[in-house]
Structure 1
């Protein structure tokens, strides 16, 4: 990497991360291929991503049912599939569009059609945001509204720089995970932040490594380990202003594990 002062995406764990990066991972990535069931109008792994990213957010949908719906036209009640269909469209959009501020907003409009009020689709929030547990305790206090635009400007600048920088294979995974993590900690949308963050992670991988990135089952891995996923997110701290990214390594190491599924 050339000399550049990252504005919001931290580099402090990069060398430690690279030391522990699985040596066989690049070959595992090269061995990835699409599923036989996929065709020009249906992507199995986009279905996997959409279903499991939605399940992390509490949607009650099963992969087999969704594949039957999407690939074979089996009808279900609209409420069962519409949010997953929206996320599928956002992934499909990302596959054919560049990762940038405008297109991130467009992707949120797609995935948020049935979860976010129209006035806030693709727009940064102007309200306070608290993440709470099921029993009503505050789990995380996101960026204050007055700072969201400023923090996202730093985020977009860093992403633009990384997209134009030559990175090693392990560095791509490191920064993809941090794009996911920093975005979800800023929490720029009223709703749909987790879905967006997991999409951005995959989107960045595809920009740097090519279309095989879309076959990585990261969303499935996060869902299968969702208690650990949320625990690793919480480790950084309760409030945005005091986040400790030196504690982020357990979260960053989850993405590479997705290639062992």
Structure 2
């Protein structure tokens, strides 16, 4: 499918993925439904997404506390909740807007409101970017700022094509995971790349499969298996120019498992 037209989002593994993706994905997806605790002004699963995507990035927030804050108005220290509130706003924005280059930048501006200065929100970084381990070792060198704009142009060209292409539910999950992986490997923002990539993955699924995609607890699974999550991302290589997306299958198979095991 589209071997000659995609520029950066590889589909070389699609055939192998379709053989290995667990059975029952469509049935499990169709069975998804909103939580009873959700209301017109409060979404339980948006809270789950926001809390666990933030916890992956080291935020000390608990779901129970955040629900008390968001649904019942119980006050906590602003430092405890503000970044999660910003990410909640980005998810809420995504639910009512189409996925494209402009809305991707707007969503980043929302989720990075208390992470970056205003002039860096929704703007590409201008310097080299290194991903470090907690003990300070460099584990990944992202795309250089000199190639960043060209790489993102390829990304948006592929995204536009994929959004217009009819595909099965399994193919939609494959490309959603690839969007997540390619974006986080380009690493275009100064900060908030992981939060963004996990949002865009789900946003793409919602565009292709409908509103039930927002009920998937992928961020929670990624957090609960965060060592595996990061290990699978690292499998591709140390530097952006030499990444091997043929090693991406373990990562790609995580997303459907978050539905089947959720």
TM-score by length of 1: 0.99
The DSSP-based 3-state class of the residue aligned with 2:143 is coil
Structure 1 Cα separation of the partners of residues 225 and 64 of structure 2: 20
Structure 2 Cα separation of the partners of residues 2 and 144 of structure 1: 27
| Equivalent residue, structure 2, for 1:174 | 174
Aligned length: 261
Query: RMSD over aligned Cα, in angstroms?
Result: 0.8
Shift of 1:2: 5.7
Structure 1 residue runs of 4+, over 3 Å off? 1-4
On the 8 A contact 2:173/2:256 being kept in 1, the answer is yes
| Equivalent residue, structure 2, for 1:132 | 132
| Equivalent residue, structure 1, for 2:25 | 25
| Equivalent residue, structure 2, for 1:227 | 227
| Equivalent residue, structure 1, for 2:239 | 239
Structure 2 Cα separation of the partners of residues 76 and 37 of structure 1: 21
Shift of 1:130: 0.5
Structure 1 Cα separation of the partners of residues 194 and 59 of structure 2: 13
| Equivalent residue, structure 1, for 2:106 | 106
Unaligned runs of 5+ in 1: none
Matches within 5 A, 1:75-224: 75-224=75-224
Unaligned runs of 5+ in 2: none
On the 8 A contact 2:45/2:217 being kept in 1, the answer is yes
Shift of 1:3: 6.7
Cα 1:127–1:3 shift into 2, 3 Å: closer
Structure 1 Cα separation of the partners of residues 242 and 23 of structure 2: 34
1:196-218 per-position Cα deviation (integer Å, ceiling 9, x unaligned)? 00000000000000000000000
1:18-66 per-position Cα deviation (integer Å, ceiling 9, x unaligned)? 0111221100000000000001000000000000000000000000000
On the 8 A contact 1:2/1:165 being kept in 2, the answer is no
1:92-139 per-position Cα deviation (integer Å, ceiling 9, x unaligned)? 000000000000000000000001121110011111000111222110
TM-score by length of 2: 0.98
Structure 1 Cα separation of the partners of residues 2 and 179 of structure 2: 19
